[in-house]
Amino acid sequence: MTVAPHFQFQNNTLHAEQVPLSKLAEEFGTPLYVYSRQALRDAWESYRVAGQDRELLVCYGMKANSNLAILQEFARLGTGFDIVSGGELARVIAAGGDPGKVVFSGVGKQVWEIEAALKAGVKCFNVESEDELERVAQVAERMNVKAPVSLRVNPDVDAGTHPYISTGLKDNKFGVPIDQAPRIYARAQQLPSLNIVGVDCHIGSQITEVSPYLDALDKLIKLILALKEQGVNLIHLDLGGGLGIRYTDETLVTPTQLLTEVFAALDKNGLGHLEIVLEPGRSMVGNAGVLLSRVEYLKHGETKNFAIIDAAMNDLIRPTLYDAWHSVEAVEPRPVTESTPRYDLVGPICESGDWLARDRQLELKQDDLLAIMSAGAYAFTMASQYNTRPRAAEILVDGDQAHVIRPRETLESLFATERLLP
C-alpha cells in the first residue's frame, strides 16, 4: 500500500489511476514525473468542503508545482493563486487564472513585478517590509491606481518543521515583527495610493498540528482588534498555507479540522465577517505525483549497497536539501525476505550528495522500475539541468488516459540560447 491513494497496485503493478506506470515508462521514458488529475480534484474538494459556506478563498501556492496544466485545472475549479514572482503571475494568466484572485507574496518584489501585478489587477500585495510598502505606494501613485495591500506579519511561532521551511520565527527573513505592525499600518494609512485590505501570516510548511496555527491566530486576532481601534478595518485574514502531507506515517491535520477551529475563534471575537484566505501548496499537489525511475546498476559493497538509478538530485533535490524522506515503491515488486539487501538509491550526478533515498530494503534487479512517491510538490519546480541533464517530461493521468503536459527536454535545447565566442 502506497502513501498516495491515487497510486495503487493492480495485478502486482503500480498504477497511476488506471494506467500502469510500466506502460508510461515504456512510452515516455524515465525519469518521468507522473501526476494524477483526480488527486488534484480531491485535494481541492477537501478545502472547498472545509469552507463550510463561509467566505473562503483558496489561493494555491504555485511554487509547489507551476505546470500550466495543473494551474489550469485549479483555475477551472475556482482557486486563486499565491505567487512570489512576476513570472508566476505570467503563468497564472497563461493558464487562464483570474488575477483578481491572486495574492502576491515574497520579500523581494521588483518594480517591474509590482507594475505587472497592478496592471493585471491582483487581489492583494502581501507586503513584507516597510521599504516594500513605500515602493508599492510609489509605483501605484505613478500609475495613478490604488494598490490593495496586506501586511505580512511574523508572529514568532514555531511551526515545528525543518528550519529551511519554517517562516514564522522572528529570525526568519519573511514578514515584519507583529509588534511593529500597528505602526506600519499607520504609515500605510498616510499613503493615498494604498488600499489596506487585510493582514497576512504564513508560519511554515509541512505542519502536522493545529496548535501552531491557533497560536498565530491568537496573536493575529489581538492585532486585528487593535487595528480596528486605530481606524484600520480589514476585509480579509490570510493564514497562509503549510498543511502537511503524508510521506510515511504522519498524523495529518485536515483542512476541516483547521478551519473549524479558525472559524470558532473568529466568531468568538466578533470577527466572523472576515474573508479567510489560505495559501496551500504541498497539500494540494504533493501526493498527486511520483517520480518514475529505472535502475541502471546495482553496486554491492562491504558497508553499503547502492542502487544507481536514472533519476538524480537535479530531478528531486528535497532529500539532499532537507534530508527529506520519500517512500519508494517497486513498480512490479518482488517479495522481500530477511536476506533482501538494503540499498541507498543514488543518481548519476557527480556529487556525493546525490541521493534520493537511503537504507531501503528492496528486492531489485537491473532495469527495474521504481516510483519515488510524494513528488508532486517541490520536485519539478526545483529541478535543474546540472551536469547538462535534460529535465524530465511531465505526464498527467486522467482515468485511463495520459496527457503530456511538458515534453522531455532535448540535449540541444539545453544550450540553444548560448553563444560561442568569435
Q: Binding-site residues for substrate, please? A: 282, 318, 322, 351, 378
| Residue 277 exposed, middle or buried by CB count within 10 Å (0-12, 13-18, 19+) | buried
Task: Give me the residues paired with residue 196 across strands.
Answer: 149
| Binding-site residues from annotation for pyridoxal 5'-phosphate | 242, 279-282, 378
CA-atom Rg of the chain in angstroms: 23
C-alpha cell at 243: 498543511
Catalytic choice (59, 124, 201, 350) = 350
Positive or negative torsion for Cα 390, 289, 37, 82: negative
Helices (H), 51-85: 68-77
Asked whether 207 and 159 are in contact (CB, 8 A), the reply is yes
C-alpha cell at 91: 503563468
Helices (H), 144-254: 181-189, 211-229
| Binding-site residues from annotation | 242, 279-282, 318, 322, 351, 378
Does the annotation count 350 as an active-site position?
yes
What is 237-282 written as a DSSP string?
EE----B---SSSPPPPPHHHHHHHHHHHHHHTT-TTSEEEE---H
| C-alpha to C-alpha distance for 57 and 199, rounded to whole angstroms | 14
Residues annotated as part of the active site = 350
